A and B are shown apart, each in its own frame.
Chain A
Amino acid sequence: MELADIIVKFILVVIIFAISLVIAMYSTYAERKIAAFFQDRIGPNRAGPWGILQPLCDGAKMFLKEEIIPTNASAFLFIAGPSLAILTACLGSAVIPWGQDIQIGSRVIVLQVADINVGILYIFGVVSLGVYGVMIGGWASNNKYSLLGAIRAASQNISYEISMGLSIIALLMLTGTLSLRELAAQQHSWHWNVLRQPLGFLLFIVCAFAETNRTPFDLPECETELVGGYHTEYSSMKLGFYLFAEYINMFVSSAVMATLYWGGYNYPGMDWVALHTGPTVGPLIGVAILFAKIFLFIFFFMWVRWTIPRFRYDQLMDLGWKVLIPLAIANIVLTGLISNYL
Chain B
Amino acid sequence: MESLSNKRKLIESKPLNFWERAYLPAIISGLSITMKHFFRKPVTISYPEEKREFSENFRGMHSLKRDENGKERCTACGLCALSCPAEAITMTAAERQKGEEHLYREEKYAAVYEINMLRCIFCGLCEEACPKEAIYLDGDIVPADYLRKDFIYGKDKLVEAPLNQ
Which A residues lie at the B interface, using CB under 8 A? 34, 36-42, 45, 303-304, 306-308
Inter-chain contact A308/B43, CB cutoff 8 Å: no
Interface residues of B, count at CB 8 A: 14
Q: Please, which residues of chain B bring their CB within 8 A of the CB of A34?
A: 38
Contact present for B42 and A41 (CB under 8 Å)? yes
**Is the beta-carbon distance between B34 and A38 smaller than 8 angstroms?**
yes
Is chain A's interface secondary structure helix, strand, loop, or mixed overall? loop
Residues of chain B within 8 A of A308, CB atoms compared: 27, 30
Beta-carbon contact of B43 and A304 below 8 Å = no
Main SS at interface, chain B: helix
Q: Could you tell me if A38 and B42 are in contact, using CB atoms closer than 8 angstroms?
A: no
Counting CB contacts under 8 A, is B44 at the interface?
Answer: yes
- Flag whether B40 is at the interface (Cβ < 8 A): yes
Residues of A within 8 A of B35 (CB): 303
Bound-state Cα–Cα, A34 to B37, Å: 11
| Contact status A40-B43, CB under 8 Å | yes
Can you list 20 A-B pairs with a CB-CB distance of less than 8 A?
A34-B38, A36-B42, A38-B34, A38-B37, A38-B38, A39-B37, A40-B40, A40-B41, A41-B42, A41-B44, A42-B44, A303-B31, A303-B35, A304-B31, A307-B27, A307-B30, A307-B31, A307-B33, A307-B34, A308-B27
**B6 lies within 8 A of chain A by Cβ:** no
Whether the pair B30, A37 counts as a contact (CB closer than 8 A) is no
Q: How far is the CB of B25 from chain A (nearest CB, A)?
A: 13
Closest B residue to A309 by beta carbon equals B30
Ranked 6 nearest A-B pairs via Cβ: A307-B34, A42-B44, A307-B30, A38-B34, A42-B42, A37-B38
Report B32 CB to chain A, min CB distance, Å. 9
Rounded to whole Å, the gap between the CB of A323 and the closest CB of chain B is 9
B46 within 8 A of A: yes
- A68–B159 Cα distance when bound, in Å, is 52
Among B35, B38, B40, B41, chain A packs the most CB atoms within 10 A around the CB of: B38
**B37, A303: Cβ atoms closer than 8 Å:** no
* Complex-state Cα separation, A280 to B33, whole angstroms: 43
Most chain A CB within a 10 A radius of its CB, from B33, B34, B42? B34
User: Which residues on A sit within 8 Å (CB–CB) of B46?
Assistant: 42, 45
A39 to B34, CA, bound (A): 8
Q: Which residues in B have their C-beta under 8 angstroms from that of A306?
A: 34
- A37 — nearest CB in chain B belongs to which residue? B38
Q: When chains A and B are docked, how far (Å) is the Cα of A36 from the Cα of B31?
A: 15
Instruction: Report the minimum CB–CB distance from B17 to chain A (whole Å).
Output: 16
Tell me the bound Cα distance from A306 to B42 in angstroms: 16
User: In the complex the two chains form, what is the Cα distance from A306 to B27 in whole Å?
Assistant: 12
Given contacts A42-B44, A303-B34, 14 further A-B contacts (CB under 8 A): A34-B38, A38-B34, A40-B41, A40-B43, A40-B44, A42-B42, A45-B46, A303-B31, A303-B35, A304-B27, A306-B34, A307-B31, A307-B33, A308-B27
